[in-house]
Amino acid sequence: MTTVLAHPVALEDFAAFARQLELAVAEESEAGVDGLSQELNASVVDAVSDHDLARMARLGSRIARLKRRLTEASDADAAIRDKASGYLALMLSALDRARATALTARLVERDAREIELLRDRILALLREEPARPRDLADALGVDPTQISRSLRELVESSRVKPTDAPREASDKRARWYDVMEPQADRSGMSVRASGDTMLVTVHRSAVRVLAMLDAEGHVSAVDADGRQARERDRTSLADALQDQQL
């Protein structure tokens, strides 16, 4: 066939198209077979270009049935029948290759997402504490070979490293793994908690000092506006404390 310039055949119009092609074969119209085949091929090209697996499957099944009917048409001219069947065979082959390529790409993409998700879950566990591959496999419910492969990739990307067994570990001979991130990440919560405690202490001390000064009359000259400003300062300090805790 030559370069496709024909209008594609819609799936809902395929039955009418098939009758036209069968009629062209029966009438031994080579030009009719060529023209109709180009229209059908335009539909194949569209489906393949759009990577539309569902449309490729539906189109392929219709073309296969049409090809069988043409092959069984014993009253048709053999040369015209074979030409039409050859066109349809080429289209089926193109659809099969395109479907296989699209399915493979989807599987590769899905596997890549699952692998990345597994790595993230492994990193989340290792941020809590070092672990053995067997511990990770049990915790995640994953085959140990997948854990080993993911750990190897994480080590190669410098996100995880082999480490010594913890002191309390009973199994000292097994290989243990830990994250390559700064230790501050694991102790960050305790550091933050200490900072929050310090802010709370400072805030409470400031409130007590101000209360003592008020009680002793050291700030009796402060007018109403000054007291409101001090209350705003206290509120701002409390808000800042809350932001730090969040």
Map out the domains of the chain as residue ranges: 11-106, 129-179, 183-245
Cα–Cα distance between 50 and 32 in angstroms, integer?
28
pLDDT reading at 40 higher than 50: yes
Cα–Cα distance between 2 and 235 in angstroms, integer?
80
Beta strands per DSSP E along 44-90: none
pLDDT reading at 41 higher than 70: yes
Q: Residue 218: which pLDDT band, with cuts at 50, 70 and 90?
A: very low
Mean pLDDT of 233-243: 49
Report the pLDDT value the prediction gives residue 82, as an integer from 0 to 100.
93
Query: Which amino acid is residue 114, in one-letter code?
Result: E
Residue with the larger pLDDT of the pair 220 and 92: 92
Closest CA to 36 of 56, 6, 11: 6
Mean pLDDT of 171-179: 88
Percent of residues, the chain, with pLDDT higher than 90: 59
- DSSP letter at 178 equals E
135-149, 179-193, 215-229: the lowest-pLDDT one: 215-229
Residue with the larger pLDDT of the pair 55 and 185: 55
5-19, 106-120, 216-230: the lowest-pLDDT one: 216-230
Cα–Cα distance between 110 and 107 in angstroms, integer?
5
Report the pLDDT value the prediction gives residue 180, as an integer from 0 to 100.
86
Q: For domain 129-179, is the CATH number 1.10.10.350?
A: no
Query: Which amino acid is residue 96, in one-letter code?
Result: D
Cα–Cα distance between 207 and 165 in angstroms, integer?
49
* This prediction's pTM: 0.55
Residue with the larger pLDDT of the pair 228 and 32: 32
Residue with the larger pLDDT of the pair 186 and 26: 26
Residue with the larger pLDDT of the pair 177 and 208: 177
Residue 96 exposure: Cα atoms within 13 Å on the Cβ side: 9
